Amino acid sequence: MAKKIVPVLMLTALAALCLAGGEAVPADSGAEIPAGEKYVALTFDDGPRRGTTDRLLDGLQERGAKATFFLIGQQIEDNADLVTRMAEEGHQIGNHTWSHQRLDGVRPDLAAQEVRQTEEALEALLGGGEYWLRPPYGQVSEGASFRVPLVKWCVDPRDWESRNTEKVTRAILDNVEPGSIILLHDIYPTSVDAALKVVDRLQEEGYWFVTVEELLWLNGVTPEAGHMYRTGRG
Ligand code: NI
C-alpha cells in the first residue's frame, strides 16, 4: 500500500507546485510521470451525507485512494466535519450548486447565485481556492460563463436508479479505462459499497485513484475555466 501512496503524494505536490506558479505544466515534466500507469477518477455528487459519506471516506483512506466530491451547498454546514476531513485527506472538493438547481434554462442571475452561494460556504470553511463545478444533470446554458473548470463524466453506472451494488460495480468495471471520470453519488449505501469494490478490483489491475485535477495534470491537460471535462484527456 505504501508503495502506491508515496508516488501519488509526490505527484500531487508537483501538481500543486505547478498550479501555484500559475503556469502550464512544463513539457519536460512528463519524465516525472511513471509511463504506462493507469489513472482513474471517482467522483461523488449530491453529498455530503452523514452515514454514507463518512463510511466512504474510511474506505478510501484504508485503500489510499483519492476522489473528488461535488457538494450541495446547503448540506455543507451540518456536515462541516466531513468536508474538512475530505480536504485534510487529499480529496478534491467541488461545487454542485446550493440546492441542486439545474443551470440550464434558468435565469442567469439565479444560476450564478446557486454557484456563488456554495463557493462562499466552501471558502468560509476551507479558505479561498478554486472549487470546480459539476452542474446538476451535467448541463449549463449555452453562452454562460464560469470562473472555474466544469466536470462531467464518461462512465455513468446510473447508481441512483438501480441502487444495486452488484449492478453498479459491474457497470463501472465493464466501461472503465485509463483516464475515465466515473459518476457516483455518496448518498446511497449501495454506491459506497460499489465504489469500494471497484477500488479493490481496479487497484489489483494496477489502477491508481486520483482526483480530477490530478487526472488532468497526469494527462498533460491544463484546466481552463468554463471548459467541460469528460475524461482525463479533456
Ligand atoms: Ni446531482
Model confidence over 7-45: pLDDT tens digits? 444 454 444 433 333 333 333 444 454 556 899 999 999
% residues pLDDT > 90 (the chain): 82
Q: How far is it, in rounded angstroms, from Cα 148 to Cα 30? A: 25
Ligand 1 centroid–CA 22 distance in Å is 30
* Residues near ligand 1 ion, CB 5 Å cutoff: 45-46, 136
Region of poorest pLDDT, from 71-75, 139-143, 192-196, 225-229 = 139-143
Q: Which of 45, 54, 159, 193 is catalytic?
A: 45
pLDDT at 6: 39
Ligand 1 centroid–CA 234 distance in Å is 21
Angle, helices 53-63/80-88, rounded to nearest 10 degrees: 10
Q: Is 145 exposed, middle or buried (0-12, 13-18, 19+ CB in 10 A)?
A: exposed
Contact present, 95 and 114 (Cβ < 8 Å): no
Q: How far is it, in rounded angstroms, from Cα 187 to Cα 203? A: 24
Nearest residue to 8 (alpha-carbon basis) of 203, 178, 214: 214
Q: How far is it, in rounded angstroms, from Cα 144 to Cα 142? A: 6
Give the single-character DSSP code of 84. H
Q: Does the pLDDT value for residue 56 go beyond 70?
A: yes
Contact present, 190 and 165 (Cβ < 8 Å): yes
Ligand 1 centroid–CA 209 distance in Å is 21
pLDDT at 36: 66
Grid coordinates given for 1:
500500500
Q: Which of 54, 96, 159, 185 is catalytic?
A: 185
Ligand 1 centroid–CA 160 distance in Å is 10
Q: Is 105 exposed, middle or buried (0-12, 13-18, 19+ CB in 10 A)?
A: exposed
Q: How far is it, in rounded angstroms, from Cα 99 to Cα 78? A: 14
H helix or E strand, kind and range, residue 114: helix 108-126
β-strand partners of 231: 180
Helix (H, G, I), strand (E, B) or coil at 41: strand
Question: In degrees rounded to 5, what are phi and psi of residue 215?
Answer: -60, -45
pLDDT at 37: 86
Q: 185 an active-site residue?
A: yes
Ligand 1 centroid–CA 47 distance in Å is 9
